[in-house]
Structure 1
Amino acid sequence: MSPLSGETKPAKALVGGRYKIINQLGAGGFGRTFLAQDIHLPNQPQCVVKHLLPQTEQTATLQMARRLFDREARFLYQLGNHDQIPRLLAHFEEDQQFYLVQELIEGQPLNRELVKGHPCSQERVIALLIDILQVLAFVHQQQIIHRDIKPSNLIRRQGDDKIVLIDFGAVKQVSSQNINPETGETHLTVSIGTQGYMPHEQLAGRPRFSSDIYAVGMVGIQALTGVHPKNLKENPTTSEIDWQHYAKQVSPELAHILDIMVRYDFRDRYQTAAEALEVLASLPRQQLLSLAEEEIPTQEITGESQSGMELPIPDIRKLANTTVPSSMITRSQSRTTPQLDITEHSRGSATNRTTLSIPQRLVKLGLITVSITILGVGLVLLKTFLSAQATGENTDYKADYITEYKTDYSTEAKVTAEQLLDEADQLRKSR
């Protein structure tokens, strides 16, 4: 009897000798998923236990399932190196049943956000697609196809709001493969995927990397329109998804990208997540710049606007719920912010003069002070001269006084020199 069979209460079941089942999270054709506790670790942290059910108990089928299980477990270990993919904690076989133990992600599935009849904004959809494709690009680099991308397998992680990709469909091969006992051929008992998110080649059992791109595109269309993919019809002529009449607000650029992602022919889609991401990542910059230009009014700069008040510049990061590079914000502001030509406007308005630093102001003040002093002295001298011209007698008196002073001074100087020479001659004679 299986440890998780119907005769055993899941809340008390213990699998792998250490994982205590708390309750069942989900069930399907491939197996069941349980919330559990690891009783061998301190604080008994919670985890997720996935119980995979092989379709038959044939020896050949079990051997093939065992090989697939080991291979897919190694892939999950490798994928767990990414921050937005749950870590694989353990995998084991017990009573011919296969178990995976994975990290528990705290958050809510995306299907709770995508409410029917409530479309998301274009900017939010772009951010969502980029977040999903960044994780999927890592998965595709490991040469792995997810095969079951849908809102319920995309968890909005609590704490940082990042999208975490869970429930890889490749593991479901373990419980969906069967072997024909007569021919020895293997085949899938059921298709891996979900209706509405699964393209026709995957439905036929031939999934490709672009099959994941199709699923991501359908998630984006669902978010943008508020319509579940199973309710979207195909164009009877082209077999393409007819969806744009549900989202008239979508830009032609984003609509074109989504159309390519969900092409009927897989060869016409983006072939990998990295290719889709490269095209989509350039879209927010163009759209945010155009939105910013629409938000900033065209305003003529007048004397009132130059009075020192700053013109309002909207924050472009508030225009979308997506991560916008700071370099993009700088570029958008430089394109839309009115710039003042100082040399042109300074001719008619004193408020447009170049602001001087403190040292420059001190030098300028000193020069002004010296100029005023020189000007004052010049005015005093000029006033004195004009007064002298007005009275001729005073002028002659001053002239005579100066001449007499010079004559007396020179005469006195000559007498003094002659006396010195006479005294010198008398001194020589006495010797």
Structure 2
Amino acid sequence: MQICQNPNCSNPFNPDSNRFCTSCGQNNFGNLLGNRYRVLQLLGEGGFGRTYTAEDTGRFDDICVIKQFFPQVQGTAALTKATELFKQEAKRLYELGENHSQIPRLLAYFEQGASLYLVQEFIRGQTLLKELQQQAFSEAQIRELLADLLPVLQFIHHRHVIHRDIKPENIMRRESDRKVILIDFGGAKQVTQTSLARQATGIYTVGYAPSEQMAGFATPVSDLYALGATCARLLTQCLAVQDANGNLYDRLYDAFNAQWMWREILQEKGVRISSDLGQIIDKLLKHLPKERYQSAAEVLQDLNSPKPKIPTTIISISQPQLPKVQANAISLQTFEFDVVTVDATGKQINRKRHSANFFIEDLGNGVILEMVSIPGGTFIMGSPNNEGKANERPQHQIKVREFFMGKYQITQEQYQAIIGKNPSNFKGTNQPVENVSWNDAVKFCQKLNQKTKRIYRLPSEAEWEYACRAGSTTPFYCGETITTDLVNYDGNYTYASAPKGQYCKQTTPVGSFPPNAFGLYDMHGNIWEWCQDYWHDNYQRAPIDGSAWLTTALSSGLLSNSRLLRGGSWYDNPGNCRSANRHKNGARNCYNDVGFRVVSVLP
């Protein structure tokens, strides 16, 4: 124990567990945490640690949030295991925050003394609890919340993360754009639960968690239940409270009958909501997990169902052997993203907010496929005389009709869900599938069609370049060059005046780099992508309607059955990753830098 540094206070404190004096609040941290973070204020504390605001002295005193955790373990081996799991969870939090704008970014993690620390982005704004304390939410606000938050849950569940503590306190409204931000993922809480032999101790908040979670069996549908409870409390302005003896009083939930009373309370207040929203909340709050929604995508589908649906009877223009299928109706959603533009030196000269429409295809078992709407239009295909190779010419105008394209390259998880195996060399559920031939990619599309009752296929070469360029006319959709901050390629090589960069020597998880203006990720680099077309040595007599070139041709004097590849890969120099660059390979060949993405076309 030590004595508080405040000369007017002599209260003892434990420097390994609490650097703020419990008597006067004096900050007794002394030296900077992690040699750079100056603690400012205690925000809160719980059974596993404390949360503070701090200044990052290595980043112009930028405000950040520091979470301090105390591993409750005995023995060196247990502490080592807890620390290792903490690092793994920190990495997971890093990947989530880096790939979604509605999750706080993880800035650092470190160990100091007997504690473990996470440093996270500071979100300026207020929690929904603060908003609820001012007034109850309206139906329109609940619909807006669901539409905004469900894609975040869909994102984390797709990456096998369960939040386990969704409630108004853990949902913030960001000041800058009014978007809701999901906070407090409790990554180290998972470490504590797992590594500290506390499996019987669930992580939850009474009044939001379902019975299976309180018994220690949290699943993605547990998060959906908590979201339903959050909506019910926001609508009714009823929170569970404890009396002086610690007894919980909750007017909203009848624990004896396991029944939510939100409809009765709204009726008392004379508040009415639409029957469809009421049914959604009721289904979210079902007692048995099997009776609830099984995915965030299902909730979104019901939420959007009153809107006009777009029929998607699609005629395949590339695979005549595939049957014509009447597809299910789709419900479009919108997502936002930043588009980066750089000059010839690789310096960022513009960053602009864009949005795009998309729909979700549920592949089962929590696996989804996101398909982005690509608007129709015309563009100049190929390279000018001062760029690229002869096989990229002559430049010619193409008219492309509207279609949908995979937001990401097909991942190993998606391939496994449809085909039942994973041939990839670089393993990772969210990394693109590779070591797949053109024939394998076509087989995937056929099986996906059978499962979804919709027509999916490989893109035509014209569709691919149109989608990649996204309205740009420069060598890359991000400008005159690329850097390894923007694309996964061999950074030992450069294009234009850009500097050398990193060489990952393998694939990276899809969506790791900024998208193009259509909202498509990794159209440059990571892996080559199969197209429908046969290879031709140039564009003489090529189709001009956006369709695939499905006739074989002479190549170097020989009849060629090679198929088209586009986009470049982790293995390639930046010149091979240009929007217009073309490559070929045999339909049966497989390589660890070759994969694909799919398209679907409206009638």
Q: TM-score range by the shorter chain?
A: 0.5 to 0.7
Could you say what the CA RMSD is over the residues aligned between the two structures, in angstroms?
Answer: 2.4
Shift in CA distance, 10/244, structure 1 to aligned 2, threshold 3 Å = farther
1:222 CA displacement: 1.1
Structure in which a larger fraction of residues adopt strand? 2
Residue type of the alignment partner of 1:63: T
- Residue 250 of structure 1 pairs with residue 273 of structure 2: yes
1:60 CA displacement: 3.5
- Corresponding residue to 2:251 among 209, 215, 231: 231
Q: Does the CA contact (< 8 Å) of 1:18 and 1:40 recur in 2?
A: yes
Q: Deviations over 1:25-48 (max 9, x none)?
A: 11111110010011112x211111
SS across alignment from 2:223: helix
Q: Gaps (5+ residues) in structure 2?
A: 1-14, 241-249, 309-355, 358-603
1:10 CA displacement: 4.6
- Residue 59 of structure 1 pairs with residue 79 of structure 2: no
What pairs with 1:278-427 in structure 2 (closer than 5 Å)? 278-283=301-306, 285=307
Match of 2:464 in 1: none
Q: Deviations over 1:325-351 (max 9, x none)?
A: 99xxxxxxxxxxxxxxxxxxxxxxxxx
- Residue 73 of structure 1 pairs with residue 90 of structure 2: yes
Shift in CA distance, 5/269, structure 1 to aligned 2, threshold 3 Å = same
- Corresponding residue to 2:138 among 110, 121, 129: 121
Q: Does the CA contact (< 8 Å) of 2:172 and 2:182 recur in 1?
A: yes
1:234 CA displacement: 2.9
Q: Does the CA contact (< 8 Å) of 2:90 and 2:187 recur in 1?
A: no
1:278 CA displacement: 1.9
SS across alignment from 1:114: helix
Identity between Structure 1 and Structure 2 (%): 41
Residue type of the alignment partner of 2:175: Q
- Corresponding residue to 2:184 among 156, 167, 182: 167
- Residue 193 of structure 1 pairs with residue 193 of structure 2: no
Residue type of the alignment partner of 1:247: L
Corresponding pairs, count: 278
Match of 2:232 in 1: 221
Q: Does the CA contact (< 8 Å) of 1:54 and 1:175 recur in 2?
A: yes
- Corresponding residue to 1:276 among 295, 299, 315: 299
Residue type of the alignment partner of 1:128: L
Match of 2:217 in 1: 206
SS across alignment from 2:77: helix
SS across alignment from 1:138: helix
1:210 CA displacement: 0.3
CA distance in 1, matches of 2:56, 2:43: 17
CA distance in 1, matches of 2:16, 2:35: 14
- Corresponding residue to 1:106 among 93, 101, 124: 124
Shift in CA distance, 60/241, structure 1 to aligned 2, threshold 3 Å = farther
1:158 CA displacement: 0.2
SS across alignment from 1:40: helix
Residue type of the alignment partner of 1:261: L
What pairs with 1:143-158 in structure 2 (closer than 5 Å)? 143-158=160-175
1:93 CA displacement: 1.2
Q: Does the CA contact (< 8 Å) of 1:10 and 1:24 recur in 2?
A: no
Match of 1:131 in 2: 148
CA distance in 1, matches of 2:178, 2:20: 37
CA distance in 1, matches of 2:149, 2:281: 14
Residue type of the alignment partner of 1:187: R
CA distance in 2, matches of 1:169, 1:188: 15
Q: Gaps (5+ residues) in structure 1?
A: 180-185, 287-324, 327-431
Structure in which a larger fraction of residues adopt helix? 1
Shift in CA distance, 95/75, structure 1 to aligned 2, threshold 3 Å = same
Match of 2:56 in 1: 38
Shift in CA distance, 120/75, structure 1 to aligned 2, threshold 3 Å = same
Q: Does the CA contact (< 8 Å) of 1:52 and 1:174 recur in 2?
A: no
CA distance in 1, matches of 2:164, 2:210: 10
Shift in CA distance, 6/108, structure 1 to aligned 2, threshold 3 Å = closer
The ranges of structure 1 where at least 4 consecutive aligned residues each deviate by more than 6 angstroms after the TM superposition are none
- TM superposition score normalised by structure 2: 0.44
Q: Does the CA contact (< 8 Å) of 1:38 and 1:46 recur in 2?
A: yes
1:175 CA displacement: 3.2
Shift in CA distance, 135/219, structure 1 to aligned 2, threshold 3 Å = same
1:17 CA displacement: 0.7
Q: Does the CA contact (< 8 Å) of 2:156 and 2:162 recur in 1?
A: yes
CA distance in 2, matches of 1:51, 1:103: 15
SS across alignment from 1:245: helix
Residue type of the alignment partner of 1:246: I
Shift in CA distance, 240/120, structure 1 to aligned 2, threshold 3 Å = same
